[in-house]
Structure 1
């Protein structure tokens, strides 16, 4: 157990060790939890909205709901002292117009996204409507953060922290 002689040393230790704990193998449960939440939000907000007739959705095979496209960056403690977790969906488009572009923001915001008309021949169809799966995921977690708290607590305990909540 480390020994500290000042509050600054404790703070420095915690700012380093807490993000390490959440980003390490003991933090895998956190990434899995976020992937589960995003997966469900994609089905609730995206795939349930309409069925395309021109193309086939890739879904779990390289598409938006493919968990391999969901990535958690290393957590960190921001300037306000809060743990910040960046989690992204890095799915790219499947055709020439989108193949080098991430599509999560395009789907989240629809035709409202800047210069989105370059992506659609007809930006007035249901494919161009916002399907806010990211916002839906955030709202669900905020409305009941108990599972997220339990996952974070478990990851910290696995790293040797004693956590009281």
Structure 2
């Protein structure tokens, strides 16, 4: 197995793990059995073929030019990939995915829904976005990994959260 094939399998595995997409859903979307997808992703020598790989990456919100894999650019009305970032492991996996797909995320827009933070990260071109769902702490770690600067208010919140009693986050309210 060459380096390109190994990189393709690694990216597919990361996309599956981070998005939480089930093999059954991928099988339905691609017309390829879940068993074949699983065997290919984990390095078995079964032949998925170039068309099968294209279908798989399209179902995962990515595309391949034969050598490199990229996250699919945002199109009007198109859904962007949703990734669950609930801890350091997922943050590191997403940073690895960004590096393997040569995507340089530079900005993040956030909204809070209860204790869950929803963040849309955008690449340097403004065309590729990913929707991240997770805890503030995990997303703060991810931003650090990706080199995305936090706003001054978020930096202050992150700093205060580290000193909060009972390890609970503090919420700032401006009047």
> TM-score, normalization: structure 1?
0.27
Which of the pair has more CA radius of gyration? Answer: 1
Q: Which is richer in strand?
A: 2
- Give the structure, 1 or 2, with the largest relative contact order (CA under 8 Å, sep 6 or more): 1
